[in-house]
Amino acid sequence: MTIHTKSIELPRLDAPAVAVFEYALSQGSLKRWPTDVPEALGMSPQDVERACRTLLSLRLLRPAPDSPEELIPVSPDAAAAEAVGPLEAQVAQAAAHAQSVRDDLRMLMPHYRAAQRERDHRQGVDVLPDLTAASAMLTQESARCREEVFSIQPGGGRAPHRLGDAIERDLAMLRRGVVMRTLYQHSARASLSTQGYVETLTEAGAEYRTAAELPDRAVVFDRSVAFLPRRADGGPGEGAVLVRDPDVVAYLCRVFDQHWSGATPFHGSSEAAYKEVGPSLRRALVGLLAEGAKDEVIARRMGMSLRTCRRHIADLLEELGAESRFQGGALAERAGLTTAEQPAAGDGRPPEGGRSAG
């Protein structure tokens, strides 16, 4: 239903109209087009005519019943009821129509919200098809980052050319006061290029820790945008998936925080860099052997090459004096190598009241 209303316009009561109305009150009435009023009020005939038209529109003057040429003054209350009543009725009708239209439009809100959620879901993930696209977007988000960036980098040491591309970008963020934290696997401690990179960035304010096992790669900027590897359909992880969905990003923050709290600080090149994570490395290795995992699986989960993994397994069995993996598992359990150590002071857990990534 469409409502069409004729606009009602009422003039404002100005000083000339008030003067003419007061004159009419004093005289009891006046002629429709008076000739004596201008002289009495010191007004021009044109001003008096305009004032009379205003008073007639506002119902403050009306023709006398028995003499249409004579105008008599009307009570302001009666004039208000007669002049403003239709306008108030029009306003009420328009308000009722506006409310009905508002109710009709609000009925569409569930449809709008559902479509918005679907659109946000689609827009919450962008696929970056190759390394070039992923690197370009990573550089762009790094430049936007203002508060915090954390990353999970499983596997062994990072390739020197990758570190060369990252170091200036990371130093620029640190100079802006961005908090930077990175998780590596213990195996990264054996990489000379990674050691040098970590040492340089640590001096600039970044923090690094290592753990025996980590989930897949992830980089999160300002707790609002995350980069994940492409793994759909068994993909090799080339390129990336850029995620802005707040629930997914919040989940990644919690995952990072849990791994960070149990990881061991890593400051770069040091002769003891590998020795200080020896117990953690052995426990993870023994646990995987006890699961019956094959060498290839153990190497992948520990972030090592197959050759290095087999050397660690041989060293462990020799250390335990075991002739087989089964015997090694039994001896390791007897030696307490399968029991996680309790965190000690300085083990890298966040201080009481410290800010968590979750």
| Beta strands 207-211; 218-221: pairing state | unpaired
Mean of per-residue pLDDT scores for the chain: 79
pLDDT over 60 at 352, yes or no: no
Concatenating the DSSP letter of every residue in 147-186 gives: SEEEEEE-SSSPPHHHHHHHHHHHHHHHHTT-EEEEEEEG
Residue 268 predicted with pLDDT over 60? yes
pLDDT of res. 156 = 74
Task: Measure the CA–CA gap between 79 and 72, rounded to whole angstroms.
Answer: 12
pLDDT at 192 over 90: no
Assign 201 to helix, strand or coil. Answer: helix
pLDDT for residue 215: 87
**Residue 222: pLDDT over 90:** yes
d(CA 80, CA 13): 12
Residues 193-210 pLDDT 10s: 888 888 889 999 999 998
**Looking at residues 114-138, what average pLDDT do you find?**
77
Query: Per mean pLDDT, which range of 11-20, 29-38, 335-344 is the poorest?
Result: 335-344
Residue 255 has pLDDT above 50, yes or no: yes
CA distance 139 to 143: 6
Do residues 125 and 242 lie in contact, with contact meaning Cβ atoms separated by under 8 Å? yes
Q: Read off the amino acid at residue 39.
A: E
Question: Cα 358 to chain center, whole Å?
Answer: 15
Task: Considering only residues 167 and 289, tell me which one the structure prediction assigns the higher pLDDT.
Answer: 167
- The pLDDT value recorded for residue 326 is 66
Question: Tokens for 249?
Answer: 């990003």
* Residue 211: its H or E element: strand 207-211
- Residue-level pLDDT at 38: 73
Confidence class for position 287, pLDDT limits 50, 70, 90: confident
Q: What residues have CB less than 8 Å from 145, skipping those under 6 apart?
A: 173, 176, 178, 221, 222
pLDDT in the model for residue 348 = 39
Percent of the chain past pLDDT 90, that is, above it, reads: 18
User: What percent of the chain stands above pLDDT 70?
Assistant: 79
pLDDT exceeds cutoff 80 at 32 = no
* Strongest mean pLDDT among 107-111, 180-184, 271-275: 180-184
- Reported confidence tier of residue 251, pLDDT bands at 50, 70, 90: very high
pLDDT in tens, 7-31: 667 888 899 889 989 988 988 888 7
pLDDT of residue 345: 34
Check if the beta carbon of residue 318 is closer than 8 Å to that of residue 221: no
* Residue-wise DSSP of 68-83: EEEEEE--HHHHHHHH
Sign for the CA dihedral angle at 199, 141, 228, 149 comes to positive
Q: Hey, which residues does 265 pair with through a beta bridge?
A: 209
- Tell me what pLDDT residue 295 has: 76
Cα–Cα distance for residue pair 102/113, rounded to 1 Å? 17
Residue that is written with structure tokens 């009725």 in the block:
89
Pairing of strands 240-243, 207-211: unpaired
Q: Does residue 273 surpass a pLDDT of 60?
A: no
Tokens of 118: 């679907």
The answer to which of 208-217, 270-279, 346-355 has the lowest mean pLDDT is 346-355
Are 32 and 71 a contacting pair, CB within 8 Å?
yes
Mean pLDDT of 221-225: 93
In this structure, what are the phi and psi dihedrals at residue 278, rounded to the nearest 5 degrees? -55, -50
Contact 288, 297 (CB under 8 A): yes
Q: Which two tokens stand for residue 301?
A: 């989960």
Assess whether pLDDT exceeds 80 at residue 116.
no
- Show the tokens assigned to 133: 């696209």
Per-residue pLDDT, averaged over 36-59, amounts to 84
Dist. CA 94–CA 201, nearest whole Å: 68
Q: Are residues 94 and 86 in contact, defined by beta-carbon separation less than 8 angstroms?
A: no
CB 332 within 8 A of CB 279: no
Q: What is the pLDDT of residues 230-245, one digit of tens each?
A: 887 666 667 898 998 8
Amino acid (1-letter code) at residue 17 = A
Asked if 152 contacts 215 with a C-beta cutoff of 8 angstroms, the reply is yes
